[in-house]
Amino acid sequence: MAANAPLLELRDAVPSFEESGLMPAPYNLRIMPGECAVIDCRDVERAALFADLCTGMISLTQGSIKFMGLDWSVLRDRQLNALRGRIGRISRHGGWLDMFGTHLNIMLPHLYHTSEPFDHVVLHATELGHKFGLPGLPISAPDRLSAADLARAACVRAFMGRPALLVLEDISDMLPEETVLPFLEMLTAARDRGCGVLWLVRSGAAWHDYRKAVNIHMRLLDEGLFSMRVV
């Protein structure tokens, strides 16, 4: 990735309507390393689809989406997966495998994409867990955890390792009040390392405390992505 190159760039990207259900309008977005883009979208399904679009999971009929200078559409499966391994993601739905314990769910992407010793991964995950208010790594299945603990675990998983991009769907309604500050601190720390942030929110309340640190504010509507004034 060249210096001063955008981390994530959507250039007139028109998603396939048949595949995604997203309106086939041209989407334009450019996130530089360390930047934070907040996308307002009330519809959580559409927000999840847009997150999928940015991570190269929806094919395009026109335009291109580049992440770290690489076009998703020209990469092969192994390269696609390796590149997605650089993205920390919080999903609102479908992110947990109930057949594994939550601890394995948290560490799974990191164990899959890196060869870091297992003990280090456990230690790192436990430390992050403490920061987000978990007493340790929860070993019970995700469907047995409360919504608040699952939201904490989702944060731990997203911040594991050193992601180059954070794609965060809105879980502010599940995240306990005392976890909001550590979450924003971690977000800032990640941005200081050069990590870009794509934060999909449902309302202004979700990112109100972070408003001054946001670089890009856009609104995702049926018709496409529209710029908003950052206050």
Partner 1 sequence: MTGTPPDTTGQGTARPGGMALPSAQPEPENRGRLIALLGRFAPWLAAIGRLTRHQVRFTLLLIGAGWGTLRESLRPNSWRRPVKYEFRATLRQVVSGGFLSIVITATLAGLMVVSQAAYWLGYAGMAQMTGSILVSVLVREISPILVGIILMGRSGMLSLTEIGMMVLGGEVRGLQARGIDPFLALVMPRTFAFTLGGFTLGMIFAVVSLLMGFVVAHASGAITSSVWTFFFNVLAAMTTWDYLIIPLKFVLVGFFVGLGACISGLTVSSTDTMATIMPRGFARGIMLVLVVNILFMLDF
Residues that bind partner 1 (CB under 8 A): 51-52, 55, 57, 77-78, 80-87, 89, 91, 93-97, 99, 104, 108-109, 111-113, 118
Is residue 26 within 8 Å of 12, Cβ to Cβ? Answer: yes
Indicate the DSSP class of residue 124. Answer: H
Q: What share of the chain is helix, strand, coil (3-state, %, to 5)?
A: 40, 25, 35
The count of other CB atoms within 10 Å of the CB of residue 174 is 16
- Nearest approach in angstroms of CB 223 to partner 1 is 25
Smallest separation (angstroms) from partner 1 to the CB of 16: 16
Instruction: Return the structure tokens found at 131.
Output: 């920061």
CB of 219 to partner 1, least distance (A): 23
User: Residue 109 Cβ, how far from partner 1 at the closest point, in Å?
Assistant: 4
Least Cβ distance, residue 81 to partner 1 (angstroms): 4
**C-alpha–C-alpha distance, residues 47 and 9, integer Å:** 17
Calpha distance 87→159 (Å, rounded): 9
Nearer CB in complex with partner 1: 95/196: 95
Identify the helix (H) or strand (E) that includes residue 30: strand 27-31
**CA distances, 197 to each of 59, 141, 169 (Å):** 22, 29, 11
Nearer to partner 1, 89 or 152 (CB): 89
Q: 192-227: b or e for each residue (b if 16 or more CB lie within 10 Å)?
A: eeebbbbbbbbeeebbeebeeebebbbebeeebbee
- Taking the least distance from each CB to partner 1, the nearer of 93 and 212 is 93
Q: Which CB sits closer to partner 1, 77 or 192?
A: 77
- Comparing CB distances to partner 1, the nearer of 52 and 170 is 52
> For partner 1, which is the closer residue by CB, 108 or 214?
108
Nearest approach in angstroms of CB 93 to partner 1 is: 6
